[in-house]
Amino acid sequence: MEYLRVSEAQRVVLESVALLNAESVGLEQSLGRVLAEDIRANRDLPPYDVSAMDGYAVRSADLVQVPVTLEVIEDIKAGDMPSKIVQPGQCARIMTGAPLPQGADAVMRVEDTQEISTQLIQVVTTIKDGHDVRPQGENMRNGDVVLSAGTEITPGVIGILATVKITQMQVYRRPRVAILSTGNELEAINAPVDMNKIPDSNTYALMAQVQALGITPALLGIARDDPLELEHYLKLGLEYDVLLVSGGTSVGVHDYVRPTIEKLGVSMKFWRVAMKPGHPLAFGVLHGMEKAPEVDAAPRCADAFVFGLPGNPVSSMVCFEEFVAPALRRMMGYARLFRRTVSARLAHPLKMRPGRTEFVRVQLTHDDAGYVASSTGTQSSGVLLSMARADGLLVMPSDSTGLAAGAQVTVQLLDGTAYQHEMNIRE
Amino acid sequence: MEYLRVSEAQRVVLESVALLNAESVGLEQSLGRVLAEDIRANRDLPPYDVSAMDGYAVRSADLVQVPVTLEVIEDIKAGDMPSKIVQPGQCARIMTGAPLPQGADAVMRVEDTQEISTQLIQVVTTIKDGHDVRPQGENMRNGDVVLSAGTEITPGVIGILATVKITQMQVYRRPRVAILSTGNELEAINAPVDMNKIPDSNTYALMAQVQALGITPALLGIARDDPLELEHYLKLGLEYDVLLVSGGTSVGVHDYVRPTIEKLGVSMKFWRVAMKPGHPLAFGVLHGMEKAPEVDAAPRCADAFVFGLPGNPVSSMVCFEEFVAPALRRMMGYARLFRRTVSARLAHPLKMRPGRTEFVRVQLTHDDAGYVASSTGTQSSGVLLSMARADGLLVMPSDSTGLAAGAQVTVQLLDGTAYQHEMNIRE
């Protein structure tokens, strides 16, 4: 089987997965989810012309020639309705958000006036009709769609949901994700230290990557290199929407994952991707029709998806970022699937053997000219510290033989949850 | 009182707040927290030289002249120990992560060999001593500090914690945050629609901004413009580490927040910041010594901090980003306090009245030359949709009178949780 390019493999994955069904959540639990319904305004906002400032509601025509002295006819607090009409030579004290009284057409901010007495103010500047007035319906008009299905629920969106008084809403549900590590060499986190074993870090690093997407994964533990044990665990994992298996998918003679997984009905889409760190990386689909009846009973989507991730900790994490995260995000309805990229200058030369797209762990600093990227040190795929220290992944195109210091590069930010619509890398 | 510059106000806030005490969390709950203790390696990793690939452990001296045929003397799986010494003309089949047998000094990947029989392989390429071998202790050495206090717990860090088998750790605790809205004009989310009122969106937008930092805030509700009611609510709020009050802090005659808060012993540090949207923005400290005994009993830090945020939804959110979020992050031990910035080109001209640092809500797109920023539309501080649509805040320096299309600008990313060490803006 050929090595797929990163973008080809990504396309295969993203074309395979589908949007999940919707579920209802409360406003206080909705941050970070994606709306599965349109949200409409339930009134005009503001419901009438209101003041945008603390100040005086004035007739702009009175201020053509300044200074001018105006009579203060009433106080209008936010939440009050005006009781008087502002006549020529008059004004009303008004608070931010309070309705503009009839007759007035602008607001003079309190800082720009001088109080002569409680009933009189002097105005020295001129303002135009509509100044510091927020017109009726400026924010939203009754019945308009203010948020459409597919909108990611950010703090600003939550402000709008509260504005239209939505306390419960439909969002796309999160995939159920299971994580399985494989290999006789692995030592469970609660097992005593055995110098001949390797602690299982992949289960937890993957757990955290899944958690960072808002999903609480099920940790299935470690399956030994034994066909029956593997079959048991893989069967268990295939009852989830997505199964992440780390280790055991390479071409070595002791890898039982591939035959076992195919025996269970999973149709493998690819096994190798031309990236570093990364391969072997496998992806397969268990179609709904092929599921056993008892499996059908589980509340999961029609198909189950299996990612066979490399056993090396860094490789596993990088493959998660490039393939699994976009897939999980698509299933949850996000339009932005890919890590946000920034442009940076390389701090030092970087050698490379062409043939595979390389993801180099870098730290980012900032100088007057912008971001500067420098390698976090050893790029060995076994050295997890290099991943922990990284601010981002510098993407080296597969045809590159290396870069000089100062070269302009593209870095995918590994920060929390910054995503964008397009991948914007040259692979 | 003078208007403070953004950076001055930020300095006052950050110098006032202090790191909170530590608490213990489990590994599965630790993502996004900050370590309050150093973490040491509990063994060498790898514990001996291991193979970085699936392939054959070879003596590099055997491969000076190729092609060469080698005898396969045993199979070493990951988790197994080698039982034989590799002699000249011999090799051992070896899995990724398995210990290198004595005699061998390099690994030839399986893809680069040809199997002649189960006991014989042919090698056609030459490799050097150490090729595809991960030396003992490459990842970490027993006893070394692998993670120091102050490290933010990312997925990569969780991988390292799992590697050294830390299932419980000390992290800085999260501040207890209370949110209060004030104003007679506000309508609670569960109240019937009243055309003369404004729905309270600030409580929920602020809630979500606090949640985005990993903190679950207490929502105190709405205090009416009444000194006694305000005092009751403010007293309640001051039992938390941080109280966010929106509305009521401007210079209008109906604002009771300032006198009431000062009556409760809060020392106000500033009231006005030269920013747009944003002012009025107030910040005060209730020092521990001034606390009433019954308040002392509450599990909060020595001082309580009050932010008086503008009533306008957008202003309140922008002030949160620029002042409250850095303060909360400092209290939780983060080194990165400020929103990550990117450089972008302005898509259209932007007018500005100099005097205040302006935060313009923008959307970011990407072309071949990098990011392009365009305004989300009306920049009225009442229009929350402009915030919901924004990818970032374009920072216009206070001395600017405007920018032409194509001008290079700095944009603070509003995405999830991307933060940096320095603010990197010109104010």
Q: Are B157 and A386 in contact (CB under 8 A)?
A: no
Q: Which residue of B has its CA nearest to A56?
A: B252
pLDDT at A426: 85
- Identify the pLDDT of residue B182: 92
Compute the count of residue pairs across chains A and B with CB atoms less than 8 Å apart: 303
Q: Which of A157-161, A292-296, A368-372, B252-256 is the least confident region?
A: A292-296
Q: Which of B189, B249, B379 is the mutation pick for testing A, counting most A CBs within 10 A?
A: B189
Tell me the per-residue pLDDT of B54-111, one tens digit each, with 9 for 90 and over: 899 999 999 998 899 999 999 998 778 899 999 999 999 998 888 999 999 999 998 8
Higher per-residue pLDDT: A111 or B145: B145
β-strands A120-123, A68-76 pairing: antiparallel
Tell me if chain A has a CB within 8 Å of the CB of B209: yes
B163 to chain A, any CB pair closer than 8 A? The answer is: yes
Which residue of A138, A140, A385 is in closest CB contact with B146? A385
Query: What ipTM was predicted for this assembly?
Result: 0.88
Chain B residues with beta carbon closer than 8 angstroms to that of A252: 54, 95-96, 110
How much is the mean pLDDT over chain A?
Answer: 90
Q: Is the pLDDT of residue B249 over 60?
A: no
3-class secondary structure per residue, chain B: CCCECHHHHHHHHHHHCCCCCEEEEEHHHCCCCEECCCEECCCCECCCCEECCCEEEECHHHHCCCCEEEEEEEEECCCCCCCCCCCCCEEEEECCCCECCCCCCEEEEHHHEEEEECCEEEECCCCCCCCCEECCCCCECCCCEEECCCCECCHHHHHHHHHCCCCEEEEECCCCEEEEEECCCEECCCCCCCCCCEECCHHHHHHHHHHCCCCCCEEEEEECCCHHHHHHHHHHHCCCCEEEEECCCCCCCCCCHHHHHHHCCCEEEECCECEECCCCCEEEEECHHHCCHHHHCCCCCCCEEEEEECCCHHHHHHHHHHHHHHHHHHHCCCCCCEECEEEEEECCCEECCCCCEEEEEEEEEEECCEEEEEECCCCCCCCHHHHHCCCEEEEECCCCCEECCCCEEEEEECCCCCEECCCCCCC
Determine the pLDDT at residue B301. Answer: 56
Which has more confidence, B26 or A294? B26
Residue of B nearest to A425 (CA): B368
For residues B382 and B391, give the distance between their C-alpha atoms in angstroms, rounded to a whole number. Answer: 18
* Report field, pTM of the whole predicted structure over 0.90: no
- Tokens matching residue A197: 């074993």
Query: Which residue of B78, B343, B424 is in closest CB contact with A183?
Result: B78
Across the interface, whether the CB atoms of A204 and B138 are under 8 A apart is answered no
pLDDT band at A381 (very low <50, low <70, confident <90, very high): low
Range in A170-184, A253-267, B222-236, B357-371 the model is least confident about: A253-267
What's the whole-number mean pLDDT along residues B368-391? 85
A199 contacts B27? CB cut-off 8 A? no
Per-residue pLDDT, B290:
44
pLDDT for residue B297: 47
Chain B residues close to A98, C-beta within 8 Å: 185
pLDDT digits (tens, 9 = 90+) for B395-405: 999 999 999 99
Q: Which positions in chain A touch B111 (Cβ < 8 Å)?
A: 251
Across chain A, which distance is largest between two alpha carbons, in Å?
94
Instruction: Name the band, by pLDDT with cuts 50, 70 and 90, for residue B293.
Output: very low
CB contact under 8 A, A164 and B212: no
**Which residue, among A31, A75, A423, would best test binding to B if mutated, counting the most B CBs under 10 Å from its CB?**
A31
Give the model's pLDDT for residue A247: 84
What is the overall mean pLDDT for chain B? 90
